[in-house]
Amino acid sequence: MNIAVVQMNPVFGDVAANCDRICALLQRADAEVVIFPELALSGYFFTSREQLAPIALDRESPALAAIESVCRQCNKVAIVGFPERNGARLYNAAVTFDPRGERHYYRKTHLFYRERFVFDEGDTGFGVSEIGWLDLRIGTMICYDWRFPEAARTLALGGADLIACPSNLVTHVWRMAMPVRALENKVYVAVANRIGSESDGSETLTFNGRSAIYGYNGTVLAELPADTEGIACAPIEPAKTRNKSFNPINDIFADRRPWAYRL
């Protein structure tokens, strides 16, 4: 099985254009599982709830239905970041479309920088989606969640083989941590980051690409450049992540000592 991370430059505020682009890239990706960036349907740098609210999507939105329909046509799983509206609440969310099953939603737990003035804190917790026909368990976290090792650990303890991380990363330090999240949990990690920049008039955020897929021992399986759109693919073997031993005696889950930890 192949997985892919898509690196793109969403058009700020233009859901229809971003949806078309996501559908085209989804068709093109040579992989059963295709991961898109955080807020890929909307762009990122919203600075007030009033600005975001008209753009935010409810779960019945035609844009989500259009992507789901391409997933069904191509028989691919897609994970896509979008701003979710639920009544008066706004979430920085990601949806997993299983072409042979249900949708799974994740709402970002740890809000980064000015996101906290725009979004409500996610309330889903860290769940794992079982993709039966691929024998694959996907856990989703979004961007800044990487700073909290508890997020990846919770997903791994929940049975994830692959942690998908739709992102809009603006620093470079994540490149030290993401392979470690893979290694310390013995899971695959896929970071779909965006490129380009967005400004609110007084401040500009630049997104630094380098989307990557890491193997369960922390090696780089595929990587994209810092400033071009593209798709990176890698083969994965999910079942290999389920045996948490790394030598005949040690097993990183069996060797945990929760009594000694204060989390």
Binding site for ligand ACM (CB under 6 A): 38, 112, 143-144, 168-170
Cα angle, residue 70 at apex, residues 63 and 106 outer, rounded to 5°: 55
- Please give the helix or strand (H or E) that residue 2 lies within, else none: strand 2-7
**Least distance from C-beta 169 to ligand ACM, angstroms?**
5
Of residues 38 and 98, the one with the C-beta less far from ligand ACM: 38
Cα angle, residue 85 at apex, residues 36 and 153 outer, rounded to 5°: 50
Which residues have a Cβ under 8 Å from the Cβ of 70 and sit 6 or more positions away?
23, 26, 27, 76, 78
Q: Catalytic site residue 108?
A: yes
Of residues 207 and 216, the one with the C-beta less far from ligand ACM: 207
**Least distance from C-beta 40 to ligand ACM, angstroms?**
12
Of residues 191 and 213, the one with the C-beta less far from ligand ACM: 191
**Least distance from C-beta 133 to ligand ACM, angstroms?**
31
Among 193, 191, 195, CA closest to 227: 195
On whether the CB atoms of residues 31 and 3 are closer than 8 A, the answer is yes
Of residues 115 and 161, the one with the C-beta less far from ligand ACM: 115
Which residues have a Cβ under 8 Å from the Cβ of 5 and sit 6 or more positions away?
35, 190, 191, 192, 193, 211, 212, 213, 222, 224, 231, 232
Q: Please identify which of the residues 84, 143, 165, 198 carries the catalytic annotation.
A: 143
Q: Please identify which of the residues 19, 23, 108, 198 carries the catalytic annotation.
A: 108
**Least distance from C-beta 5 to ligand ACM, angstroms?**
16
DSSP calls for 147-194 = G-HHHHHHHHHTT-SEEEEE----SSTHHHHHHHHHHHHT-EEEEE--
Of residues 167 and 241, the one with the C-beta less far from ligand ACM: 167
On whether the CB atoms of residues 188 and 213 are closer than 8 A, the answer is yes
**Least distance from C-beta 46 to ligand ACM, angstroms?**
12
| Catalytic (active-site) positions | 38, 108, 143
